[in-house]
């Protein structure tokens, strides 16, 4: 298994993450509900037991006979374990004598208040106390209950809410897993569709079959397929074009080499070898241009953008090609009075200017003139290369940017790729290239306008 496959297999599972997240949320909601129930039950239980305390005090006060004053202090034994958590006292309010109490009640008053509810800590325990005074008979009844009774009742209710969760959680996990699996089934179908495709099957996926949340992913995959398809098409076209265009110069080189082998005289051999060198130069230039196009075609944006002085770039191209122009007695003039900064890739701009100047020198007759101008025109930086050569007929100017298209009747050999490279570089820079007549209506002017 490849490293990528291993990482994919060991990566987090969306199904597992959804299952864990839903179970965690459900469990958390259940626990919050239990805590809320505990709080609510504790409050309601307190209200109910307060009412019972008041009722018990009323009953005790009503049952207290007139002869209770003569009864010695009596302790009422607890009959049930929970009765130890409930206590009452009956006091003689006039004399302050304890008349009756439960075994769990202390000998001192449960609270100093004579009426109403109060909280008291006795022997380290919290008590809820209700006091009722009968002023006519001088009797004080105090009924108390330990707070832990209320807490235990509320906790019991909350625990009873949690008990079903322990039983239902495995079943709930199974149901959630089933629901998540059904919900992710469209994604599984998309994954199977991609996994089972042949390498050359780049048709777009059916976005309508995917859920709405997965449609951005499907759209991104379709865009990727389109880019791969376009790349493969460019590669096929490039391979076919390169094979076709290289066949002619290589055949010419081979022919001249065979002539040189069979030549009987020195002059004939020298001429054939000169043709071999010229043919090799043409093949080299063609290969360089093909490689340049192969590098430019896949790019959707510039690899590096910086401030570039167009005047400096044009000056370097003119100096590089001045010797070739001198061989044809062509005067190359640079008109760049001041820097013209543009945003772009310096290497590509050098290729662009060099191709334009080289084309002008190549197609201008001996003794002609080439003028290279760089200036700021309004809000744009402008490069113009003008010559007084044969020019390009207006009807053909729209086609000269096509690859391998050559204007007939120029008397020059070429690959037909120079202006194709220029157009691609212009596109990457967001510039505009136009073709017009040369000076005095003769020749050709190529103008490139760069946004400032």
**Positions of E strands within 293-425:** 306-309, 331-335, 341-344, 369-377, 380-387
CATH number of 212-295: 1.10.287
Top pLDDT among 193 and 406 is at 193
Q: Does the structure show a pLDDT above 50 at 77?
A: no
Tokens read off for 331: 């005067």
Helix axes 310-327, 346-363, angle to 10 degrees: 30
Average pLDDT over residues 368-381: 87
Top pLDDT among 408 and 292 is at 292
Q: Are 389 and 363 in contact (CB under 8 A)?
A: yes
DSSP for 84-115, written as a single string: GGEEEEEEETTTTEEEEEETTS-SS-S-S-SS
pLDDT of 23: 81
- Look at the chain and count its residues: 452
CA 68 → CA 25, 57, 134, distances in Å? 62, 16, 14
Least confident of 84-93, 116-125, 164-173, 396-405: 396-405
Q: Are 352 and 448 in contact (CB under 8 A)?
A: yes
Average pLDDT over residues 25-32: 81
Using pLDDT thresholds of 50, 70 and 90, give the confidence band for residue 89: confident
Query: What whole-number percentage of the chain has pLDDT above 70?
Result: 81
Supply angle C-alpha 263, 264, 269, rounded to 5: 45
Mean pLDDT of the chain: 77
Q: Does the structure show a pLDDT above 70 at 17?
A: yes
Query: What whole-number percentage of the chain has pLDDT above 90?
Result: 4
Least confident of 49-63, 96-110, 126-140, 402-416: 402-416
| Four-residue CA torsion sign, 217, 223, 225, 228 | negative
Q: Does the structure show a pLDDT above 60 at 72?
A: no
Top pLDDT among 9 and 449 is at 449
Q: Does the structure show a pLDDT above 60 at 149?
A: yes
Q: Does the structure show a pLDDT above 60 at 81?
A: no
Average pLDDT over residues 386-397: 83
Average pLDDT over residues 70-77: 47
For 307-366, the pLDDT digits (tens) are 889 999 889 888 888 888 888 898 888 998 888 888 888 888 888 888 888 888 888 888
Supply angle C-alpha 248, 421, 346, rounded to 5: 135
Top pLDDT among 251 and 142 is at 142
Q: Does the structure show a pLDDT above 50 at 273?
A: yes
Q: Does the structure show a pLDDT above 70 at 245?
A: no
Top pLDDT among 109 and 197 is at 109
Tokens read off for 330: 């062509």
Average pLDDT over residues 13-23: 78
Residue ranges covered by each domain of the chain: 12-183, 212-295, 300-451
Average pLDDT over residues 50-70: 73
pLDDT of 88: 85
Give the number of C-alpha atoms closer than 13 A to the C-alpha of residue 375, restricted to the C-beta side. Answer: 11
User: Which CATH number is 300-451's, of 3.30.70.20, 3.30.565.10, 3.90.79.10, 3.40.50.620?
Assistant: 3.30.565.10
Average pLDDT over residues 426-434: 87
């Amino acid at each position: 298994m490849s490293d990528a496959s291993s990482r994919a297999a060991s990566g987090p599972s969306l199904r597992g993450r959804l299952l864990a997240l839903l179970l965690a949320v459900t469990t958390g909601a259940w626990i919050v509900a239990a805590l809320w129930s505990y709080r609510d039950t504790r409050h309601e239980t307190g209200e109910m037991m307060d009412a019972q305390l008041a009722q018990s005090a009323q009953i005790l006060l009503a049952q207290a006979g007139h002869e209770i004053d003569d009864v010695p202090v009596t302790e009422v034994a607890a009959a049930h374990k929970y009765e130890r958590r409930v206590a009452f006292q009956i006091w003689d309010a006039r004399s302050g004598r304890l008349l009756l109490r439960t075994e769990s009640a202390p000998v001192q008053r449960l609270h100093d208040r004579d009426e109403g509810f109060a909280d008291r800590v006795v022997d380290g325990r919290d008590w809820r106390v209700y006091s009722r005074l009968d002023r006519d008979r001088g009797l004080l009844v105090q009924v108390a209950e330990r707070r832990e009774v209320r807490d235990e009742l509320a906790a019991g209710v909350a625990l009873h809410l949690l008990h079903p969760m322990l039983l239902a959680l495995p079943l709930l996990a199974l149901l959630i897993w089933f629901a998540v699996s059904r919900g992710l089934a469209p994604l599984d179908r998309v994954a199977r569709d991609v996994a089972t495709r042949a390498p050359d099957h780049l048709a777009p996926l059916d976005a309508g079959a995917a859920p709405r949340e997965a449609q951005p992913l499907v759209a991104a995959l379709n865009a990727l397929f389109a880019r791969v398809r376009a790349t493969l098409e460019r590669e096929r076209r490039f391979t076919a074009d390169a094979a076709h265009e290289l066949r002619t110069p290589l055949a010419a080189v081979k022919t001249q080499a065979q002539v040189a082998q069979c030549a009987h005289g020195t002059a004939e051999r020298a001429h054939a070898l000169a043709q071999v060198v010229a043919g090799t130069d043409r093949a080299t230039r063609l290969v360089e241009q093909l490689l340049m196009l192969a590098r430019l075609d896949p790019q959707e944006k510039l690899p590096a953008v910086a401030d570039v002085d167009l005047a400096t770039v044009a000056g370097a191209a003119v100096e590089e090609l001045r010797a070739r122009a001198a061989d044809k007695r062509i005067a190359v003039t640079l008109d760049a009075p001041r820097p013209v900064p543009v945003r772009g890739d310096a290497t590509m701009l050098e290729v662009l200017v060099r191709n334009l100047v080289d084309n002008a020198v190549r197609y201008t007759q001996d003794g002609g003139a080439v003028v290279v101008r760089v200036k700021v025109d309004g809000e744009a930086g402008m490069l113009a290369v003008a010559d007084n050569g044969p020019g390009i007929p207006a009807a053909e100017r729209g086609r000269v940017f096509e690859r391998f298209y050559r204007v007939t009747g120029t008397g020059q050999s070429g690959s037909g790729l120079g202006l194709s490279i220029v157009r691609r570089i212009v596109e990457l820079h967001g510039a505009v290239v136009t073709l017009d007549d040369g000076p005095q209506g003769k020749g050709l002017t190529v103008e490139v306008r760069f946004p400032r």
